[in-house]
Amino acid sequence: MASPHAARVLVASNRGPVSYTLRDDGELTSKRGGGGLVSGLSAVEGDAHSLWVCAALGDGDRAAVRRGVSADGVRMLDIDPGVHADAYNGIANSVLWFVHHMLYQTPLEPVFDAEFRRKWDAFRTYNEAFAQALAAEAAEGAAVLVQDYHLALVPGMLRELRPDLRIAHFSHTPWAPVEYFRLLPDDIGEELLRGILGADRAGFLTQRWADAFVACCTAVVGGTGQTAIAVHGLGADADFLRKRSHEPDVDERMAELRERIGGGSGEGGGERRRTIVRVDRTELSKNIVRGLLAYRELLDTRPEWRGRVVHMAFAYPSRQDLAVYRDYMDEVRRVADEINSRYATAEWTPVVLYLKDDFARSLGAYRLADVALVNPIRDGMNLVAKEVPVVTDHGCALVLSREAGAYEELGRDAITVNPYDVSATAAALHEALTMPQDERARRTERLAAAATALPPQKWFLDQLDALGPAG
């Protein structure tokens, strides 16, 4: 039965557009999130008939739910913290993420035992909570856009509850090839696929990931049935980025970064130091350590760059409640420190490492970048590869992993690398640093055009339109 205030357009995701913090005095403060999904939903935001269903992720969010505090158009679900932890960290981030990014060290992992099955039950319960909420809130024939691997079971569950709904599922990650997907227990793999196939449409960021999903469905459940498979390559929001990157706080960060870089201005003040910039969350898939090793090899084998280039590495914390991510962050620090110990002088710091998230500083680095290094082991898209060409002040050479989803659209004008090949990445950095300015400018122009072809609002509306009118 639909709610008396039923929504015609619903979005479901683990993380919502707003989060709450519980202060020491018991008061709640709220903060609006960012990212492509938030930007995309703004296309229908303000419509009284749209609703975003998400999980309460912390004590502040749960307190807000229990006090009846809510942002307009948002419904947070106060799911049992233990259930959420098992579903989110135990399954979504420690199993599904590892499968789709092909990150397992298979001699030792994964181990699918009784403990895994217990956590899988929590994952199922977590998905059921979303399905129940969506079923209760949706108008007759409403459009429901379910987001990502955390909620892979929701479409099938929701289809059982509300067969009248128009349902889409979108995967923001890569999709594993058949042979890797089948690391999962047979019944679990089938349950995942059938969950997504409960949707009218299953969307992916690139054709490669869509083809992998179809191959898994063909091998495991005999095909995709009535579910349409679609590709929607989320792009950068050019208008927002260009405006935001020229606000005063970004100018302030740029001045600070220039001071850290050091060297001359390039205008009568000595040679300007070049910059290699990377901006990532410290996720295992981002390949930050090999990027640092490639930079070290550049300095080892091309001594002419010593003192003339700085690698600005922005490695923002991610999933620090998981030990493997804390260990990875430690290794990033260790390698950066080792490079600086080996090569730094009183006038030059080879690696400038930032570990605290600061969007204005990231935008300042985008504007200053001579080279953008985007070398993930595997990535659904990677919006950094798309954002830098849009924001750069003087053109930027892009060194891009062929395993990033963005490669499908940007590969022609990037310098492509195998993310595992440190020596080839070092050579690519040299090529990027020595690229003639006119070629750099031409490539940047084409990269920016490709990167902004499907901005977030159009990306969202295209999927909504593809679901068709209510029946």
CB 213, CB 229: distance < 8 Å: yes
Cα Rg, the chain, nearest whole Å? 23
What pLDDT was estimated at residue 269?
Answer: 47
What is the structure's pLDDT at 194?
Answer: 98
- Give pLDDT, residue 33: 72
C-alpha 273, offset from chain centre = 30
Kindly give the pairing relationship between strand 274-281 and strand 371-374: parallel
| Residues 372, 448 contacting (CB under 8 angstroms) | no
> For the purposes of burial, counting CB atoms within 10 Å of the CB of 330, is it exposed (0-12), middle (13-18) or buried (19 or more)?
exposed
pLDDT at 44 (0 to 100): 67
Residues 6+ apart with CB under 8 A from 347: 262, 263, 307
Residue-averaged pLDDT of the chain:
93
**Could you tell me the pLDDT band of residue 41, with boundaries at 50, 70 and 90?**
low
Residue 22's pLDDT is what?
Answer: 86
The reported pTM is 0.93
Confirm if 390 and 448 have CB atoms less than 8 A apart: yes
Give CA–CA dist 24/178, Å, rounded: 50
Residue 267 has a pLDDT of: 46
Give the CA angle between residues 386, 215, 111 to the nearest 5°: 90
